[in-house]
Structure 1
Amino acid sequence: MATGADRLELLRQGKLAGCAELDLTGLGLSEFPLEVLALAPSLVKLDLSRNALSALPDEIASLTNLEILFCSSNHFAVFPAAIAACPRLSTVAFKQNKMSRIPKGALSPSLRWLILTDNQINALPEDIGVCTRLEKLMLAGNSLTRLPDSLARCSKLALLRISANKFSHFPRVLGELPNLTWLAFAGNAFSNDQADRLLRQEGFDVPPIQWNNMELHEKLGEGASGVIYRANWSKSEGEVIKTAVKLFKGAVTSDGLPHNEMQASLLSASHSHTNLIPILGQIVGHPQSAEGLVFALIAPTYTNLAGPPSMTTCTRDVYPEGTAFSPEATLACVQGIAAAASHLHARGIAHGDLYAHNILIDAATGHALLGDFGAASPFDPTDDGICGTVVRRAEARALGFLIEEMLLLTTTEAGPLVEGMRAARTLCDKAGVSSNEIAMALGRLA
């Protein structure tokens, strides 16, 4: 397999004609290789991440077929306005740069997915409203204090991450986004205050677990916020419990701050729920002061319901080919997740990522476990104002999509269970509906 250096040399020799995807990551590039422009007739995806670039040439506009541009982990201080002239550009990533400014006219109307996580941006351009095709906007880990009113014109926006910024209040413009479905806003001044209130009022029975009492084994999984290991917990003399341990990373993720994920996890554990993975304790005494949680080890009969969205599907999950469920299993899954969401909402937690790829399912029974609190955000469960209204509407929409997707995978297309779940899907779009109402509607079908 050719290395990045090999690809760069072949590019310079003119031997990549007809190339649709070009990966030039991690090569220490400080200037854009102009030879890339010769690939204009064919180039669809260009990855320049993990270099030392700070600018792109105006000539990049000649890449008329370019759809995906990754420039994460570079040295861009200003968003390059030149790429707005690329007519088919739909996915752009400038995660973890030194970016502080986005000029007017720099954002292309063709954008569907814009990733600006972990920069120093303090304002979005007022003309962001031209991005009427925008579906995903990742802004966690910046210095934003407000969102432009013109964002309301981005009516297709479904996923928004504004965690770990400097908002003092919940942005009112979010109430004008009719398709907002997956929202994360933890780690801002207003949400930090709410998290502190919730943590003070809840009675926690999550015990501290000394790191020295844990024996880690193989890695079970790794995400942006942390690493999960299979582990043995020596609870007491002669008693060893098989567990899963999640050790959190410190860096900002696309969803927000790992510390906020741990806070939400602790709040969710204040009362157990059959559709949430039980938390056994919180790690203390880690030699590098890493934060961590100890979970019950899930039976191997549980698998991920779906994979995350692709570049093509953008906001919708990708299910394994051949996935199918009985009506009874489908009902058990969607009712369980709706009940888990209702449980979280009653405790002031918006999950923010009610997706099939965050669900573990026992395919035979349909019993489901909701995981991954990376996008979870604290809110006042009694709030009937803009924040509470937006949160409840977004989470209901997410549940509606889950029901819709599961029905497409259900082996029977008719019958009382299927018709009842279709009615529940319709209920999810009703103004003011709560996750509890959705869960109750599904529960009556069981």
Structure 2
Amino acid sequence: MQTLAQLKAGELRGITHLKISEQLTEFPMEILDLAETLEVLDLSGNQLNAFPAEFAQLTKLKIVFASNNPFTTLPEVLGRCPNLEMIGFKSCAIKKVPANSLPPKLRWLILTDNNIEQLPDTLGQCVHLKKLALAGNQLTSLPQSMLHCHELELVRISANQLTECPDQLLSLPKLAWFAFSGNPFSQHNLELDTVPCVDFSQLELHHVLGQGASGVISKATWTYNEHQLPDEVAVKVFKGEVTSDGYPNDELQACLKAGSHPNLVKSLAQVQQPDNLALIMDLIPSHYQNLGLPPTLATCTRDTFPADFSLEQTQIDKIVQQMRDVFNHLHQNKVCHGDLYAHNTLFDRDANILVG
């Protein structure tokens, strides 16, 4: 991360990446002096609510992040940036997305956790768009013009106000990841009792095993094990806020509805308290590891792998067969996973897999 003082002193000339978070209330015009080289601009975590018209001078800019700023309108000037591919304005206060705010080369648009009620028809002109994250808004419909977004691969529309599934998305030829929970058309308001409810005070959390957008997973033991569950368990404590996948309770209920399968991480119990929402699961054996690594900014929707990673054909065949079995099981239980990725899959040396 750089500082505003460095920028004003001219010490950052020639850089390609700039990140400043100092509660800025105005866009630092000195950023324009970096126009010949600047490709990535991150102004997240400030107090900005607008970009100047001169922002379009950043002709080399490919990526802009401005999450956690009090924008109410997505800046129109973004649409005049000729090489801008990635836009991230998460957790702002955006209500309006102007028709001219979407640049011609847009591949990745993140507008999670805002107040957007409507998107412009010009979204359908974004023919390079691959990833679209709109969870946690107030959308009641999506533009029919999205029929033309033939490159779109990943869509998150969870936690909106959609009363019916946007059918135009279902005809997109490359759509592979689709999350839509927490909308009126998909909401059933069921609290499943397929596993027992326990009090959070019955658990003692130990070290963190991992974390994601929706919660933190820790190793835990019981202070009172009334249901005779395994002594050591994994506990996912949900963060209680909207994520790219929607509301935490929707994720919890989906895990419970998924039922039991040899290739699913087993759910053992749940915590349903106002200040604590948690899922208690089997502790995954330590010899399991992630099948892949998450996508990068460059790969957008595609997982990455270590350079020396390889599998035998027999291992691949076994993994694919298990994937087919577990997803048939989920679909029979009317659960759409929506996030099948190598980085969300665990495997061992015998090519046995576990999916969460």
Per the TM alignment, residue 239 of structure 1 is displaced from its structure 2 partner at its CA by 8.1
The code of the aligned residue for 1:365 comes to D
User: What's the counterpart of residue 239 of structure 2?
Assistant: 249
User: What's the counterpart of residue 91 of structure 1?
Assistant: 86
User: What's the counterpart of residue 9 of structure 2?
Assistant: 13
Query: Is the 2:229–2:268 contact (alpha carbons within 8 Å) kept by the matching residues of 1?
Result: no
Per the TM alignment, residue 70 of structure 1 is displaced from its structure 2 partner at its CA by 0.1
Shift in alpha-carbon separation, 1:12–1:215, aligned structure 2, 3 A: same
Per the TM alignment, residue 238 of structure 1 is displaced from its structure 2 partner at its CA by 9.8
The answer to whether 1:321 aligns with 2:311 is no
The code of the aligned residue for 2:161 comes to K
The answer to whether 1:125 aligns with 2:120 is yes
The answer to whether 1:277 aligns with 2:262 is no
The code of the aligned residue for 2:8 comes to R
User: What's the counterpart of residue 214 of structure 1?
Assistant: 203
Name the CA distance, whole Å, in 2 between partners of 1:162 and 1:209: 31
Per the TM alignment, residue 268 of structure 1 is displaced from its structure 2 partner at its CA by 0.9
RMSD: 1.6
User: Where in structure 1 are there 5+ consecutive unaligned residues?
Assistant: 372-446
Name the CA distance, whole Å, in 1 between partners of 2:48 and 2:194: 49
User: Where in structure 2 are there 5+ consecutive unaligned residues?
Assistant: none
The answer to whether 1:41 aligns with 2:36 is yes
Per the TM alignment, residue 211 of structure 1 is displaced from its structure 2 partner at its CA by 2.0
Per the TM alignment, residue 237 of structure 1 is displaced from its structure 2 partner at its CA by 10
Per the TM alignment, residue 167 of structure 1 is displaced from its structure 2 partner at its CA by 0.5
The code of the aligned residue for 2:20 comes to L
Name the CA distance, whole Å, in 1 between partners of 2:39 and 2:146: 28
Name the CA distance, whole Å, in 2 between partners of 1:215 and 1:94: 37
Per the TM alignment, residue 329 of structure 1 is displaced from its structure 2 partner at its CA by 1.9
Per the TM alignment, residue 327 of structure 1 is displaced from its structure 2 partner at its CA by 2.2
User: What's the counterpart of residue 326 of structure 2?
Assistant: 340
Q: How does 1:226-375 map to 2 (within 5 A)?
A: 226-233=215-222, 234-236=224-226, 241-269=231-259, 272-284=260-272, 289-362=275-348, 364-371=349-356
Q: 2:67 aligns with which of 39, 61, 72?
A: 72
Name the CA distance, whole Å, in 1 between partners of 2:283 and 2:332: 26
Name the CA distance, whole Å, in 2 between partners of 1:20 and 1:241: 51
In percent, how many aligned pairs have the same letter?
Answer: 44
Per the TM alignment, residue 240 of structure 1 is displaced from its structure 2 partner at its CA by 6.1
Extract structure 1 runs of 4+ deviating beyond 4 A.
Answer: 236-240
Instruction: Give the structure with the larger helix fraction.
Output: 1
TM-score where L is the length of structure 1: 0.77
The code of the aligned residue for 1:220 comes to L
Q: How does 1:390-429 map to 2 (within 5 A)?
A: none
Per the TM alignment, residue 19 of structure 1 is displaced from its structure 2 partner at its CA by 0.5
Per the TM alignment, residue 258 of structure 1 is displaced from its structure 2 partner at its CA by 1.1
TM-score where L is the length of structure 2: 0.96
Per the TM alignment, residue 69 of structure 1 is displaced from its structure 2 partner at its CA by 0.2
Name the CA distance, whole Å, in 2 between partners of 1:84 and 1:282: 46
Per the TM alignment, residue 131 of structure 1 is displaced from its structure 2 partner at its CA by 0.5
Name the CA distance, whole Å, in 1 between partners of 2:226 and 2:146: 55
The answer to whether 1:184 aligns with 2:172 is no
Per the TM alignment, residue 210 of structure 1 is displaced from its structure 2 partner at its CA by 2.6
How far does the alpha carbon of each residue in 1:140-196 deviate from its partner, in whole angstroms, 9 at most, with x for none? Answer: 000101111111111100000010000111112112311111000000001003x64
User: What's the counterpart of residue 55 of structure 1?
Assistant: 50
